[in-house]
Amino acid sequence: MIRVNENYFKLQASYLFSEIAKRVSDFQAAHADKDIIKLGIGDVTRALPRACIDALHKAVDEMGHDRTFRGYGPEQGYLFLREKIAAADFQARGADVSADEIFISDGTKCDSSNIQEIFDAGIKIAIPDPVYPVYLDASVMAGRTGKFQNGRFEGICYMASNRENNFIPDLPAEPVDLIYLCFPNNPTGATISRELLQSWVDYARENKAVILYDAAYEAFIQDDGVPRSIYEIPNAREVAIEFRSFSKTAGFTGTRCAYTVVPKNCVAFDGEGTRHALHPLWNRRHCTKFNGVSYPVQRAAEAVYSDEGAVQVKELVGYYLKNAALIRQEITGLGLDCIGGQNSPYVWIDGKMDSWDFFDLLLNRAGVVCTPGSGFGKCGHGYIRISAFNSFENVRRAMARIRETLT
Ligand code: PLP
C-alpha cells in the first residue's frame, strides 16, 4: 500500500500569507473604491538593473546561434560567475572562499531546505523564533520534528530573538547539531556583530555542530562593522555553510539565481565519530538532483559584478533603504519601538497589541497591508513587520495613513 509522507500533516498550513490574502480580498470586496498599499510580502518591486538586462539579452542571442549555443552547463554553475563571486563577495573582504566551493542554484529557499538531506535523520536542529518559515517547514517535511503542540514542534530547539537579547538568539542551552542563523534577519531586520557571530562559530566548533548561515539580505548592510559573511569570522570555514541570493540584491526574485558556499574543510561526523567533508556530499546531491541555472540567467548575475552593475545594484538597494529609513522614522515618531530598516529592508515593530489586531487596524483604517509578526513564530506575538519593497511614493502615502490612524 502506497503511503503518504505523514509529516506533511504536521505542517501548520501556510496560514500566514494565505490568511493575509484572504483578509485583504475580503476588505477589497467590501470596499471596492479603497486603494490598498501592500507592505507585506517581501518581494521586490523595481526592475532588474540595466547591466543585467543587457547581459540577459546578449546571452539569449547567443542561444540563437549554433556556434554560441549552450546546452547543459556545469551543475555547480559556470566558472565565469563562480570566480566573480569568490573574488568580489569574499576574497575582496578578506574571507577565504574559492570558486570551487561555490554552488550556483536557483534560490536560497531551495538550498536552505535541501541542504538538510546531507545530514543524519536524527540530528537536533536549532531554529530562531521568529523565523523565515522555510527552515522550520523543511525540518517538518523531512521528519525531523515531533508533533505540533502549544505553538511549537517537538524536537526542535527554538532560539528566542526578542527585545531582551536585541533580537540575536542566545547560544542554545541544550546540545544541538544544525543551527539556522539569518543575518540581516528576516523578519526582524536585526544584524549580528562580529563578536557575537564569533561566539556562534566557537559554539559550533566546541559542540561539533554546523551553522547554516542565510545571508540573503547581505547587500543591505551599510555599517562597516557588521560582518557580511560568516567567513569573515576566523575558523568559520570548518563549521559554516553560507547561502546568498541575487533575489533581494539585484531584484532576481522572478529571474532566480542564488548560491551556496560549502567550504572544503567544513565537516560533519559519522556514527563512529569519523570526520567527513560536506563539500563532496553537497556536490553529489546537487549534481544528482539539480541541472544548473540557465546560461542567460548566470550571465545576468555575472553582470552584477561589472562596474555598471555594481553601481546599479547599489542604487537599487539604496532605493529600498530610503523607504526603510522613512518607515523607521515614522514609526519611531509615533512612539512605537522598532528595529531593523537600517541594514535591512524590514522594520520589526512592537505594536503593543495582538499582531493580527494591529494588522486589521492598519488594513481597515489605513488601507495598508503589513505582516503580523505572530506568523513568524511565538516570539513574534505583538509585533508586525513592514517591508520597504514598494515605490517611495507608496511608502510615503502608507506611512502618512498609518500616522493618521494611530494619532
Ligand atoms: N532567505 C530568506 C531569509 C528570505 O527572506 C528569502 C525570501 O524572502 C529567501 C531566503 C529566498 O531567497 P530566494 O529567492 O533566493 O529563494
Task: Please give the C-alpha separations between residue 106 and each of 76, 292, 295, in angstroms, as whole numbers.
Answer: 11, 8, 12
119 touches ligand 1 (CB under 6 Å): no
Q: What is the pLDDT of residue 298?
A: 98
Same-domain status, 236 and 270: yes
Q: How far is the CA of 243 from the centre of ligand 1 (A)?
A: 9
42 touches ligand 1 (CB under 6 Å): yes
108 touches ligand 1 (CB under 6 Å): yes
**Residue where one domain finishes, among candidates 285, 306, 327:** 306
Same-domain status, 232 and 176: yes
Same-domain status, 253 and 115: yes
**Which atom of ligand 1 approaches the CA of 246 most closely?**
15
Same-domain status, 156 and 194: yes
Cell reading at 276: 567527513
What are 167-223's pLDDT values in tens digits? 999 999 999 999 999 999 999 999 999 999 999 999 999 999 999 999 999 999 999
107 touches ligand 1 (CB under 6 Å): yes
Cβ density class 318-333: b for 16+ within 10 Å, e for less: ebbbebbebbbebbee
What are 321-358's pLDDT values in tens digits? 999 999 999 999 999 999 999 999 999 999 999 999 99
Q: How far is the CA of 111 from the centre of ligand 1 (A)?
A: 10
**Residue where one domain finishes, among candidates 284, 306, 328:** 306
216 touches ligand 1 (CB under 6 Å): yes
Cell reading at 290: 539539480
Kindly report the pTM of this predicted structure.
Answer: 0.97
Same-domain status, 26 and 83: no
Do the domain assignments include residue 1? no
Query: Residue 340's beta-bridge partner residues?
Result: 347
113 touches ligand 1 (CB under 6 Å): no
Q: Whose CA is nearest to atom 1 of ligand 1?
A: 216
State the total domains in the chain.
Answer: 2
76 touches ligand 1 (CB under 6 Å): no
Q: How far is the CA of 29 from the centre of ligand 1 (A)?
A: 31
Same-domain status, 69 and 195: yes
Local confidence band at 282 (pLDDT 50, 70, 90 cut-offs): very high
Local confidence band at 14 (pLDDT 50, 70, 90 cut-offs): low
Q: Whose CA is nearest to atom 5 of ligand 1?
A: 186
Domain region containing 314: 6-47+308-406
Q: What is the pLDDT of residue 151?
A: 85
**Which atom of ligand 1 approaches the CA of 109 most closely?**
16
**Which atom of ligand 1 approaches the CA of 110 most closely?**
16
Question: In what helix (H) or strand (E) does residue 21 lie, and over which residues does it extend?
Answer: helix 15-30
What are 258-277's pLDDT values in tens digits? 999 999 999 999 999 999 99
Same-domain status, 295 and 314: no
Same-domain status, 169 and 191: yes
Q: What is the pLDDT of residue 17?
A: 83
**Residue where one domain finishes, among candidates 306, 329, 350:** 306
Same-domain status, 236 and 262: yes
Same-domain status, 61 and 110: yes
Amino acid at 70: R
Pocket test for ligand 1, best of 16, 43, 134 (most atoms within 8 A of CB): 134
247 touches ligand 1 (CB under 6 Å): yes
User: Rounded to whole angstroms, how far apart are CA atoms 90 and 130?
Assistant: 28
What are 351-394's pLDDT values in tens digits? 999 999 999 999 999 999 999 999 999 999 999 999 999 999 99
Local confidence band at 310 (pLDDT 50, 70, 90 cut-offs): very high
Specify whether the CB–CB gap between 313 and 250 falls below 8 A.
yes
